[in-house]
Amino acid sequence: MILISNPDKSQWQEILKRPVMNTENLFDTVRSVIDRVKAEGDRAVLDYEEKFDKVVLASLAVLEEEQQEAENLVSEDLKAAIRLAKQNIETFHAAQRFEGKKVQTQPGVTCWQKAVAIEKVGLYIPGGTAPLFSTVLMLAVPAKIAGCKEIVLCTPPGRDGKVHPAVLFAAKVAGVNRIFKAGGIQAIAAMAYGTESVPKVYKIFGPGNQYVTAAKQLVSLRDVAIDMPAGPSEVEVLADETANPVFVAADLLSQAEHGVDSQAVLITTSVELQQAVKVEVERQLALLPRKEIAEKSLANSKLIVVDSMKEAIELTNAYAPEHLIIETKDYLSLAERIVNAGSVFLGSLTPESAGDYASGTNHTLPTNGYAKAYSGVSLDSFIRKITFQEIKPEGLNSIGPAIELMAANEQLDAHKNAVSVRLL
């Protein structure tokens, strides 16, 4: 880890640099895979599964008997944990339901909004170094609450041609309609354009490696919506002298084990905490099964000491972390001053892991500084809001002359006439 003390503001941009996920140099490769899937459908996806995931499949769809077999392989303890997490995610996201109100902007002019679910959504669940069954819950549960009619899930199978049992169980619990054995670029292309087996969807959600990210970027240019831009995962711990270095180190390492390009940052007003956390990270790191991954990630990570909490807040808002843990004596008042973060974890007993799994908040969040402009996945991500307006005679007489005048000044006579003919 890199130790930094009292950086000048002119250095902030440099010290807050993230690991770069350069997708532009992948676009030619990604585009060729997408084009072939568009042209050849299932055949192309099956070929790419053999090429990239090293598995020969007879078909893409996960069958009912496979789901039942998978359920039998999941321990009762894990089933209970998944059900608990699902319940909390459901409770939190159900509370986000939109309640549109009719507003009378002028007598005789009424406007309102109606929330409508996106009918078909695609969820991508990566394979990689760990089965992310928690992400199934984070995406499928709000989709179900929103009222999406078709929830399609793609995930790469293992070398045995099977999907991880916990992923299939989570999908069943969360209400996924159809599951397909497809990963990477080919999965994104299949959901974006449809194949003989995989339905075309209107919006694609889910994390992935740089190839998945590039594929989502390309298909979103004109053919399908995506959840948000993506980059490597990250956490910042904002702490003062009251923070427990054991807790802080554990939080930093929980992020570092995600992947070699993940980033963990500590911003603190305490030199003593900085040093204690460094020692504690090294101690805990040695005990981790995923030590090699976390070790590489820590090369991108920083322990930063600043002069004041005011400066710490300013630096935090400049960084705009995906996850922010505030472990200070006055964390609630500091939280009010945070304007750029994906999800915030308050106090010494609220680790990032809680939001990753079971507190109820969503763990699909903006990374790479996008928290300055994007929100994490919520119920709103799965709906559209249609606006309505109704004008009665009194309303047209009230706003009609203003519309005519504004249209005339924009030299849009047909717009003006659409009102004028009604005022006669």
User: DSSP for 200-219?
Assistant: P-SEEE----HHHHHHHHHH
Write the DSSP symbol of residue 161: S
Q: Is residue 373 part of a domain?
A: no
Dihedral of the CA atoms 290, 296, 299, 303 (nearest 10)? Answer: -10
* Rounded distance between C-alpha atoms, residue 8 and residue 314, angstroms: 12
Q: Are 131 and 156 in contact (CB under 8 A)?
A: no
Structure tokens at 137: 């819950």
Known active-site residue 336 = no
Number of domains in the chain: 3
Q: Is residue 242 part of a domain?
A: yes
- Asked if 213 and 247 sit in the same domain, the reply is no
Rg (CA), the chain: 25
Range of the domain at 137: 24-226
Q: Is residue 385 part of a domain?
A: no
Annotated binding site: 124, 186, 209, 233, 255, 258, 323, 356, 410, 415
Q: Are 190 and 182 in contact (CB under 8 A)?
A: yes
Known active-site residue 164 = no
- Asked if 329 and 189 sit in the same domain, the reply is no
Q: Is residue 321 part of a domain?
A: yes
Q: Is residue 259 part of a domain?
A: yes
Q: What's this model's pTM, rounded to 2 decimal places?
A: 0.95
Which candidate in 322, 327, 352, 404 is catalytic? 322
Q: Give Cα separations from 390 to 24, 106, 112, 169, 355 (angstroms).
A: 47, 11, 9, 47, 43
Determine phi and psi for 184, rounding to 5 degrees.
65, -150
Q: Are 391 and 109 in contact (CB under 8 A)?
A: yes
Query: Where does 194-270 have alpha helices with state H?
Result: 210-219, 245-256
* Rounded distance between C-alpha atoms, residue 402 and residue 220, angstroms: 39
- Asked if 202 and 262 sit in the same domain, the reply is no
Q: Are 390 and 106 in contact (CB under 8 A)?
A: no
Q: Are 270 and 234 in contact (CB under 8 A)?
A: no
Strand arrangement of the beta sheet that strand 323-327 belongs to: 2-5, 302-305, 263-268, 234-239, 323-327, 343-346
Q: Are 294 and 285 in contact (CB under 8 A)?
A: yes
Which candidate in 323, 352, 363, 404 is catalytic? 323
- Asked if 328 and 209 sit in the same domain, the reply is no
- Asked if 112 and 173 sit in the same domain, the reply is yes
Q: Are 214 and 30 in contact (CB under 8 A)?
A: yes
CATH number, domain of 271, equals 3.40.50.1980
Q: Is residue 63 part of a domain?
A: yes
Exposed/middle/buried for residue 264 (C-beta within 10 Å: 0-12, 13-18, 19+): buried
Annotated binding site for NAD(+): 124, 186, 209
- Asked if 41 and 112 sit in the same domain, the reply is yes
- Asked if 241 and 260 sit in the same domain, the reply is yes
- Asked if 104 and 217 sit in the same domain, the reply is yes
- Asked if 67 and 213 sit in the same domain, the reply is yes
- Asked if 259 and 306 sit in the same domain, the reply is yes
- Asked if 250 and 338 sit in the same domain, the reply is yes
Q: Is residue 108 part of a domain?
A: yes
Domain boundary among 226, 251, 280: 226
* DSSP element (H, E) containing 304: strand 302-305
- DSSP, collapsed to helix, strand or coil, labels residue 236 as strand
- Asked if 36 and 78 sit in the same domain, the reply is yes
Q: Is residue 387 part of a domain?
A: no
Domain boundary among 226, 253, 277: 226
pLDDT in tens, the chain (424 residues): 899 999 999 999 999 998 776 677 899 999 999 999 999 999 999 999 999 999 999 999 999 999 999 999 999 999 999 999 999 999 999 999 999 999 999 999 999 999 999 999 999 999 866 789 999 999 999 999 999 999 999 999 999 999 999 999 999 999 999 999 999 999 999 999 999 999 999 999 999 989 999 999 999 999 999 999 888 899 999 999 999 999 999 999 999 998 888 999 999 999 999 999 999 999 999 999 989 999 998 988 999 999 999 999 999 999 999 999 999 999 999 999 999 999 999 999 999 999 999 999 999 999 999 999 999 999 999 999 999 999 999 999 999 999 999 999 999 999 999 999 999 7
Domain boundary among 190, 210, 226: 226
